[in-house]
Structure 1
Amino acid sequence: MAEQSEDNEKSEDPTQKRLDEALQRGDVAKSQEVSTWFVLAGGTLMLMVFSGSMGTGLKSTFTGLIANAHQIPTDGASLVRLSSRIGVEVLAAVAIPVLLVALFAVGGNVIQHRLVWSAESLKPKFSKISPVSGLKRLFSKVALVNFAKGIAKIALLGTVMAMLLWPERDRLDTLVTLDVAAILPFVSVFALKMLGFVVVIMAFIAAADFFFQYRQWFEKQKMSLQEIKEEFKQTDGDPMVKARIRRIREGRMRKRMMAAVPEASVVIMNPTHYAVALKYDRGDNAPVCVAKGLDAIALKIREVAEAHNVPVVENPPLARALHASVEIDQEIPADHYRAVAEVIGYVMRLRRGLGH
């Protein structure tokens, strides 16, 4: 039962096949903050580069319109032509900046994941309209994080605005007395300065949010050992999947071994290449091997044994023989009874002598 529970626990990193399937479904790690930052940064950059040309173009259009307003025909056909002309001129003035900002918006998505064409998100799902599911989403961990993130953004941006406005408080009072032409340069410089600070702060928020969203998505993609086994069957013995399963099994076996070492009666070593941990209780037919290993694993077994005051006996011939002839959770072969009995007898005498 314990082994079955471990097999069904989603504790293993997803395979490449699982990640590819998630991408095909449109299930990808995505941070809205990253997309927002790209649009904000792109818009700020466009204002810095194209504000002069956009202003000149729009100024020319509307100056002529206002100066000649009394000469503009007011019949329907003339107004339609005028509207079309104004629309074309405005579009010509802002087309390049708007197009570049749109490219920034696309870049904010592409940089997070490959382009995905999937209709999965368009399929109707009952969970999207279920009140119970809605309440769960409302009070979920993600919702709480988004709420905290919103509060943090408001606090940070509000602080920055206050820090920028406070030194200019005296100048702001005098702006109302100035001509519009004199106000515009100050407003333009101050707005770009403010946007620059906002872009820097949002960069940190976007980076933190992306790592959080990616971690949430990656945890959701994790697989159980049973799912990996099923995938292995479907892929007809894919060597990579097979090696992955073998590594997982070996890792779990090592963990169980190390957990059993503190309960061992003795560890027999050679002295660094082989280690076999044996457990013997009165009434047992024979000692049972609870852990064994070579080289680094042997040293780890010794380290755990010494940390838990389990006796370590160096007997190279016996350590090599036991390592070759006994498996984990098996009794030692009868051929080694006498040699192991001498070791366990020595350990017991040693413990009695130490008063244990």
Structure 2
Amino acid sequence: MAESEGGEKTEEPTRKKLDDALKRGDVAKSQELNVWFGLAAATLAISIFGDGAVSSLGKTLTRFLEHPETIAIDGTSLRTMAGGLGVAIGAALALPMLVLMIAAIAGNLAQHPPLYTTDPLTPKFSKISPASGFKRLFSPESLVNFVKGLIKLGIVGTVIWMVVWPERAKVASLTQGDVAGLLPVLRSLTLHVLVASVCVFALIALADYLWQRHRWRERLKMTVQEVREEHKQQEGDPHIKGRIRQIRRERSKKRMMAAVPTATVVVANPTHYAVALKYESGMNAPMCVAKGVDALALRIRKLAEDSGVTVVENPPLARSLHAVVEVDREIPAEHYKAVAEVIGFVMRRKGRR
């Protein structure tokens, strides 16, 4: 336990720790998941818009591939040709690029909600320090990423080989066929490769996302001491809060004792309870200005006697009032009659009406 308190991070991150990490832009993020979204979007774009894009590009590029000698290369013609070629390629690729852009955004939103933070943009010496860069380059994390890249390359390469190898004869015949038929064959082959890659990358991306999220939570784990310090910051130091409560009680007691000389009567049990009541013309009901038990009750009683306040011994009423009425509050209606009799007795003793 002592070792855990000292420095070993064994506690799960608190909600505040997670929120602070999100504010800094520190989130669990898998690049493989973004790659999968890109591959899936590319496959979707080719399958939906591929025929139109291939047909448009085929018509545009046929002249360059079949009759390049007819192309004028003077300044004006070259600019016109380049502009027309750019417009044709842009029109053919506009919708596929829009799908890829949406996929890039969706890949990030699937991992975490939108965040706005300038912390990653803040200049930090550690980012440009050669020593820090050398440590990152040869860190265990870099080694894991290198091995992961090799495994991924091997898996994807194997899948592509399995898809392309049966079509090797068709690929070899493309050099002898019609130029106009080149793009549809390449589209079909590319689509097969992408579909196979998407299926394989789905497993890779899922595994990498789970791994990155696990590492992120492990990195944010806290020591027992950190949890205690955070609790103190949020809830306040128990010692300080206890001291504040004690000071408040002392001040409340002083105000209460200062109000005893203004009371009309003190209803008391001989030694255990004392309740000081105040009643003046215009008040709705008598009000409790002080109360106490045992030693405090004796202090209230002595102060009342020294101040000329009448003390009436009525144990049942004293206990009952002490239990139900708070300081600076009017007495409950069910005690009106009993208290009225006491106050009437006091007024008669003083000759008041």
Q: Distance between the aligned counterparts of 1:182 and 1:81, measured in 2?
A: 27
Q: Which amino acid counterpart does residue 94 of structure 2 have in structure 1?
A: A
User: Is residue 32 from structure 1 mapped to residue 31 from structure 2 by the alignment?
Assistant: yes
The answer for unaligned runs of 5 or more in structure 2 is 238-353
Does the aligned pair in 1 maintain the 2:54–2:183 contact within 8 Å? no
The answer for unaligned runs of 5 or more in structure 1 is 239-356
Question: Could you say if the C-alpha distance between residues 209 and 166 of structure 1 is closer, same or farther in structure 2, counting changes exceeding 3 Å?
Answer: same
Q: Distance between the aligned counterparts of 2:155 and 2:223, measured in 1?
A: 41
Question: Could you say if the C-alpha distance between residues 184 and 73 of structure 1 is closer, same or farther in structure 2, counting changes exceeding 3 Å?
Answer: closer
Show the counterpart of 1:335.
Answer: none
Q: Which amino acid counterpart does residue 147 of structure 1 have in structure 2?
A: F
Question: Could you say if the C-alpha distance between residues 28 and 235 of structure 1 is closer, same or farther in structure 2, counting changes exceeding 3 Å?
Answer: same
Show the counterpart of 1:241.
Answer: none
**How far off is 1:222 after superposition?**
0.8
Show the counterpart of 1:14.
Answer: 13
Show the counterpart of 2:206.
Answer: 207
Deviations 1:253-281 (A, max 9, x none): xxxxxxxxxxxxxxxxxxxxxxxxxxxxx
Structure 2 counterparts to residues 166-315 of structure 1, below 5 A: 166-236=165-235
Q: Distance between the aligned counterparts of 2:189 and 2:97, measured in 1?
A: 22
For the pair shown, which has the larger CA radius of gyration, 1 or 2? 2
Q: Distance between the aligned counterparts of 1:21 and 1:83, measured in 2?
A: 52
Show the counterpart of 1:321.
Answer: none
Q: Distance between the aligned counterparts of 2:139 and 2:36, measured in 1?
A: 25
For this pair of structures, how many residues does the alignment match? 236
Q: Distance between the aligned counterparts of 2:220 and 2:132, measured in 1?
A: 20
Q: Distance between the aligned counterparts of 1:98 and 1:3, measured in 2?
A: 57
Q: Distance between the aligned counterparts of 1:25 and 1:150, measured in 2?
A: 28
Q: Which amino acid counterpart does residue 228 of structure 2 have in structure 1?
A: K
Q: Distance between the aligned counterparts of 2:165 and 2:71, measured in 1?
A: 47
**How far off is 1:137 after superposition?**
1.6
Amino-acid identity (%): 44
Show the counterpart of 1:132.
Answer: 131
Structure 2 counterparts to residues 43-58 of structure 1, below 5 A: 43-58=42-57
**How far off is 1:227 after superposition?**
1.6
Question: Could you say if the C-alpha distance between residues 164 and 71 of structure 1 is closer, same or farther in structure 2, counting changes exceeding 3 Å?
Answer: closer
Deviations 1:26-75 (A, max 9, x none): 11110111111111110111011101122233345556899999798956
Show the counterpart of 2:143.
Answer: 144
Q: Which amino acid counterpart does residue 21 of structure 2 have in structure 1?
A: A
Question: Could you say if the C-alpha distance between residues 188 and 63 of structure 1 is closer, same or farther in structure 2, counting changes exceeding 3 Å?
Answer: closer
For normalisation by structure 2, the TM-score amounts to: 0.59
Question: Could you say if the C-alpha distance between residues 87 and 162 of structure 1 is closer, same or farther in structure 2, counting changes exceeding 3 Å?
Answer: closer
Show the counterpart of 2:346.
Answer: none
Q: Distance between the aligned counterparts of 2:32 and 2:95, measured in 1?
A: 24
Question: Could you say if the C-alpha distance between residues 40 and 71 of structure 1 is closer, same or farther in structure 2, counting changes exceeding 3 Å?
Answer: closer
Q: Which amino acid counterpart does residue 215 of structure 1 have in structure 2?
A: H
Show the counterpart of 1:119.
Answer: 118
For normalisation by structure 1, the TM-score amounts to: 0.58
Show the counterpart of 2:93.
Answer: 94
Q: Distance between the aligned counterparts of 1:32 and 1:75, measured in 2?
A: 45
Which of 97-106 and 64-73 deviates more? Answer: 64-73
Q: Which amino acid counterpart does residue 96 of structure 1 have in structure 2?
A: L
**How far off is 1:166 after superposition?**
2.8
Show the counterpart of 1:160.
Answer: 159
Q: Distance between the aligned counterparts of 1:200 and 1:40, measured in 2?
A: 10
SS in 1 for 2:10: strand
Q: Which amino acid counterpart does residue 102 of structure 1 have in structure 2?
A: M
RMSD: 3.0
Deviations 1:285-304 (A, max 9, x none): xxxxxxxxxxxxxxxxxxxx
Does the aligned pair in 1 maintain the 2:62–2:179 contact within 8 Å? no
Q: Which amino acid counterpart does residue 55 of structure 1 have in structure 2?
A: V
Show the counterpart of 2:107.
Answer: 108
Q: Which amino acid counterpart does residue 126 of structure 2 have in structure 1?
A: S
Q: Distance between the aligned counterparts of 1:202 and 1:33, measured in 2?
A: 8
Q: Which amino acid counterpart does residue 103 of structure 1 have in structure 2?
A: I
Deviations 1:111-137 (A, max 9, x none): 011112111111222222233322322
SS in 2 for 1:174: helix
Q: Distance between the aligned counterparts of 1:54 and 1:173, measured in 2?
A: 24
Q: Distance between the aligned counterparts of 2:26 and 2:158, measured in 1?
A: 36
Deviations 1:85-128 (A, max 9, x none): 54344323322221111010111111011112111111222222
Q: Distance between the aligned counterparts of 1:53 and 1:72, measured in 2?
A: 28
Question: Could you say if the C-alpha distance between residues 166 and 89 of structure 1 is closer, same or farther in structure 2, counting changes exceeding 3 Å?
Answer: closer
